[in-house]
């Protein structure tokens, strides 16, 4: 049982390049989330999904796209990277219920030069 995994762990992009971050969970969770973490800002929600085939915008969605083709995977895409997207990205998952507990992956550190 690996929990939530993220690939890659580190990536350096040049402005304008594209990339996809992969999140996978083996806990059969319905809900999945992508966050970015910047110093002094806590975690901010980019996009989220409440089930296979469904996605929705979070607090800071501009410049990102997502897809949830399989229940266990949630992909985050950057079509044209900008320096402002330099951040640490976290994926999380959870099940429907009142506790709202979320399980996080180890993160991807992305630098855009």
Partner 1 sequence: TQLLEQSPQFLSIQEGENLTVYCNSSSVFSSLQWYRQEPGEGPVLLVTVVTGGEVKKLKRLTFQFGDARKDSSLHITAAQPGDTGLYLCAGGRYGGATNKLIFGTGTLLAVQP
Q: Which residues lie near partner 1 (CB under 8 A)?
A: 4, 31, 33, 35, 40-45, 48, 50, 56, 58, 90, 92, 94, 96-107
Query: In the complex with partner 1, which residue's Cβ is closer, 87 or 102?
Result: 102
Smallest distance, partner 1 to C-beta of residue 17, A: 24
Query: In the complex with partner 1, which residue's Cβ is closer, 59 or 79?
Result: 59
The DSSP call for residue 97 is: S
Smallest distance, partner 1 to C-beta of residue 46, A: 12
Q: Which two tokens stand for residue 16?
A: 């304008």
Query: In the complex with partner 1, which residue's Cβ is closer, 38 or 79?
Result: 38
Query: In the complex with partner 1, which residue's Cβ is closer, 17 or 44?
Result: 44
Beta-strand (E) ranges in the chain?
4-7, 10-13, 19-25, 31-37, 43-51, 54-57, 65-67, 73-78, 87-94, 103-104, 108-112
> Cα torsion at 44, 47, 48, 51 (round to 10°)?
-170
Smallest distance, partner 1 to C-beta of residue 2, A: 13
Q: Which residues of 19-28 are buried (b: 16+ CB within 10 A; e: fewer)?
A: bebebbbeee
Smallest distance, partner 1 to C-beta of residue 78, A: 20
């Amino acid at each position: 049982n690996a929990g939530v995994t993220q690939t890659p762990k580190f990536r350096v992009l040049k402005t304008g390049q594209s990339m996809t971050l992969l999140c996978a969970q083996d806990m059969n969770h319905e809900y999945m989330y992508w966050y970015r973490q910047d110093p002094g800002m806590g975690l901010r929600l980019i996009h989220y999904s409440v089930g296979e085939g469904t996605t929705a915008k979070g607090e800071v969605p501009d410049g990102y796209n997502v897809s949830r083709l399989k229940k266990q995977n949630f992909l985050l895409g950057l079509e044209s990277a900008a320096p402002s997207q330099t951040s640490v990205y976290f994926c999380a998952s959870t099940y429907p219920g009142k506790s709202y507990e979320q399980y996080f992956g180890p993160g991807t550190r992305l630098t855009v030069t």
